Every structure is written in C-alpha cells, then in structure tokens.
Structure 1
Amino acid sequence: MSEKEAGSSVVTRLSDAAIPTPDGTFRMILFREEATGREHVAMVLGAVGTGTPLIRIHSECMTGDVFGSLRCDCGEQLAAARARIGEEGAGIILYLRQEGRGIGLANKLRAYQLQDQGFDTVEANHELGFAADLRQFGVAAAMLDALGVRSVRLMTNNPRKQDALEKAGIRITERVPVRVPILPENRRYLQTKALKLGHRIDWLPELDA
C-alpha cells in the first residue's frame, strides 16, 4: 500500500526503520498528520496485515515514558504493551504526539503544580482553562488504515479510544485491559481517571463496590 492510498488524506507515511528492543525488532514507521503537521509513530512487530493484531494507542508522556515518573501509569502501560506484543510475536503500538492529554508539556507541568496544591488531574486542567481531555484518536484510525489494518484487538482501559476507532470503521474484536501496578504516587490519579474520565480500572480496590 503506497503512502497516497488509504488514510493519506489524514496522514502521510514519511519513513521507517528497524528498531531492536528487548521485546523484539519492531519496524518504526513515521507518519505526518496533515491537519496539524505533527509526526506520529507506528511501532509494528511481525505480520499485521491479516487477522486481528493486538494494538495499543499510546499518547506521548515525556515524564512517564522517558523519565520514569510515578505520577501516572503511562510508562508502565507502554512497557506492558510492548512486552505483550513481543510475547505474541505481532502487533502495533501507535504512539501519538499529544502530550499531557493534549494540553502540551508546559501546561502539563503547570497542571502538576496545581495537583501538588490539592487539585486532581481533571480539576487542574479546568483551572488552566482546558477540557479534561483534549486528545483526538481519529489519526490512529488513519494510521491503521494506511497500514492495511481494519480489525484489531485493542489494549486499553479508555473507552474513548474504542469509540473513536469504531466510529472510523475499525472493527474491535476484543478490548484487552492494561493492568499495571497501583502506586502511592499514582493512586489518586488512577481514581480520577476511573471516576471522572470513565477509564475501566477494575483492579482499583476502592472501585470494587
């Protein structure tokens, strides 16, 4: 499939290269989102053009993914997804460049300052004048389309991702939970995601009732 075929009105395929990781050698494929100019990444392992590959849509989190911050579960989720795909021998991680649930790194750090004053993650966004979550996931569907993938098993706790793919015509045969450790540093954050953003984090003890 050429870069000017499916999905090209939304994304353009720019380049790709093999990336060895502890979980297997992935193909990193770089896409440009035409509406914004942002560059997004598809990390592809094995044959994904047939069947229903396991995929993870992961929004950029520099603090968690790169520097190991414990304020969120992002880095743990990314590592878990890569490991699970490696175990299966095939799958895709779609890494979307929309830091801080879409508000950018500078505002994310400002939101952290507010959280240190007692606001939760949603309240902090509102205090800064932003919606709770500004991320868009339509570009992920366009990237899958460009890769020739129309049916997936989706690794997520976030129903918005599932809804966005289904609205774009991607068939989801299974939602696979991403279970990562609950830490003292991220417990309130996870509670807020579950109670205010609808994330399905059933292993939080306080949600058992």
Structure 2
Amino acid sequence: MSIKYVATSKLPTPWGVFAMHGFEDTETGKEHVALTFGEMAPDKPMLGRIHSECLTGDALFSLRCDCGFQLQTAMQNIAENGSGFILYLRQEGRGIGLLNKIRAYELQDCGANTVEANEKLGFAADMRKYDMILPMMEKIGVAQVKLMTNNPRKVKAMQSMGLQVVERVPLQVGKNRYNEDYLKTKSTQLGHMMSEHHFSEDDANSAT
C-alpha cells in the first residue's frame, strides 16, 4: 500500500479541537487527511464520514452542491457526539480534478446535469476510489463505523475492506434552489439514498 502516515497536529475549529493526521500517497503524490475528535476505540462503533474534497463547496461556499453543508454538519455532529472521525480525501470533482470540474460546471450552465456533464467530458459519472481508506483507518484505530453518508458506494467500499459499518446515518443538508436538480440527479442516477422529508425547511430556504 502506498499510503504513508506523515504527522499529527491539533486543528481548532468552531466545533472544538480536532486532531489532524496527514497521509501521503507515495504513488500519486496526493495528500489526504484524517480528522479525529475525542478517543478512538477499535472495539466500538465510531461516528464518521468519508468526505471527498470539494474546493467550491468546502472553501468557497458554493450552493451548487451539498458538500460544504455535509462537511460542516459532520464536524458538528461528531463534536456533539463527543468522538468521531472524518477521512478527507483529495478527489475533487468525483475524481476528475478541479479544472475538469469547472468544465463540467460550464456544461451544466448550458443545461446538462452532473452525470451528463462528466460523460460529455469523457469521464465516468463517479471516478473516486477508496483504497486509501484502510491504512488511514488502521492508523487512527477505528474498525467499526456509524457512517454519515447518503452514498451506498462508500458503505460497500468500507465493507469490502473488512471494516464494519454498523449503521448508515443519513446526511441530508444544504438543499436550496441552486442545487435541487443536482440532488435529484444524485438520487436518480447515482443511487444516493435520499428522502425529501429528511431535508429541513432551513435547508430549503438557505439560499432564498
């Protein structure tokens, strides 16, 4: 496995102080991060999330997706729970990279949905891989997970590596008038498990 642990530091956030563990993929040069809060226990189910990098949503407050909302809510949920983790994976744009993501956005501006845009650029709808997860999980000491996700592929990825997903915790936040079609496409074409009643009124009105 090409994943190499590098260092750990404190990460103060609005929700509390996390520990930030840095990892390097020596084959690709990609750098990944695991955030942990509280004590990790390999023999207990830990609340956690696999989160793929989204510069536009996570850092630039984009309303085109739900990524930034999901990241912040996951961090808040973990802090309120008293313990948990986030694996932050550098897989921008479902694995196609930032500039290709902007190209895909341009096609979406012209009427394509998120899947059609990727395919028009010659990519699969979702090109993310999760093989880096196992060494990261082993390093932070987690084997059982209550996984915050709407994506069944993440559940299957963890299970395929021998990690036990004892519960899938829905994470449906951030719906607004700019991403309604995006969320619908994730549900109908990418198999994400989402129910309309799980979104709060605050989410629906967040960008009005």
TM-score normalised by the chain length of structure 2: 0.92
For the residue of structure 2 that corresponds to 1:138, the secondary structure is coil
Is the counterpart of residue 145 in structure 1 residue 138 in structure 2?
A: yes
**Match of 1:22?**
14
Mapped partners of 1:28, 1:105: distance in 2 = 23
Q: Which runs of 4+ in 1 moved over 4 A?
A: none
For the residue of structure 1 that corresponds to 2:194, the secondary structure is coil
**Match of 1:174?**
167
Correspondence for 1:45 among 15, 37, 42: 37
**Match of 2:149?**
156
> For residue 146 of structure 1, what is the amino acid of its counterpart?
K
**Match of 1:119?**
112
Mapped partners of 2:99, 2:62: distance in 1 = 16
**Match of 1:107?**
100
Mapped partners of 1:181, 1:204: distance in 2 = 13
Correspondence for 1:68 among 61, 86, 92: 61
Deviations 1:182-204 (A, max 9, x none): 21100000000000000011126
> For residue 55 of structure 2, what is the amino acid of its counterpart?
M
TM-score normalised by the chain length of structure 1: 0.91
For the residue of structure 1 that corresponds to 2:73, the secondary structure is helix
| Residue 35 of structure 1: how far off its partner (Å) | 3.1
- Which range is displaced more, 42-51 or 118-127? 42-51
Query: Are 1:191 and 1:204, in contact at CA under 8 Å, matched by a contact in 2?
Result: no
Deviations 1:123-174 (A, max 9, x none): 0000000000000112123211222211111000000000000000000100
Mapped partners of 2:69, 2:39: distance in 1 = 25
For the residue of structure 1 that corresponds to 2:12, the secondary structure is strand
Mapped partners of 1:87, 1:97: distance in 2 = 26
> For residue 52 of structure 1, what is the amino acid of its counterpart?
P
Query: Are 1:49 and 1:149, in contact at CA under 8 Å, matched by a contact in 2?
Result: yes
Is the counterpart of residue 33 in structure 1 residue 25 in structure 2?
A: yes
**Match of 1:57?**
50
Correspondence for 2:184 among 177, 191, 200: 191
Aligned residues: 197
Is the counterpart of residue 13 in structure 1 residue 5 in structure 2?
A: yes
Mapped partners of 2:147, 2:2: distance in 1 = 21
Mapped partners of 1:71, 1:177: distance in 2 = 20
Mapped partners of 1:176, 1:74: distance in 2 = 16
**Match of 1:6?**
none
Is the counterpart of residue 82 in structure 1 residue 64 in structure 2?
A: no
RMSD: 1.2
Is the counterpart of residue 135 in structure 1 residue 100 in structure 2?
A: no
Is the counterpart of residue 95 in structure 1 residue 88 in structure 2?
A: yes
Which segments of 5 or more consecutive residues in structure 2 lack a partner in the other structure? Answer: 199-208
Q: Percent identity?
A: 50
